[in-house]
Amino acid sequence: MKKTSSYLLGVLIGLVIIGCIFVVQVWFPWLENDLGRHKRLIESAWFTAALFAFSVNRLWPWRNRNAFAFWTSLFALLVLHATGVFFYSRYVQPLLVWQWIILLSIESFVVVSVVDWSTKRFHNFGHDNRGLE
DSSP 48-93: HHHHHHHHHHHHGGGGGT-HHHHHHHHHHHHHHHHHHHHHHHHHT-
Q: What is the pLDDT of residue 129?
A: 54
Provide the residue-wise pLDDT of the chain in tens; the chain has 133 residues.
556 677 888 889 989 989 988 888 888 877 777 777 778 888 888 899 999 999 999 998 888 888 888 999 999 999 999 999 999 988 998 888 899 999 999 999 999 999 999 988 887 766 555 444 4
Q: What is the pLDDT of residue 127?
A: 58
Domain boundaries defined on the chain: 1-37, 38-123
DSSP 8-state assignment for residue 95 = P
Q: What is the CA radius of gyration of the chain?
A: 20
d(CA 43, CA 37): 12
| Alpha-carbon 25 to chain mean position | 27
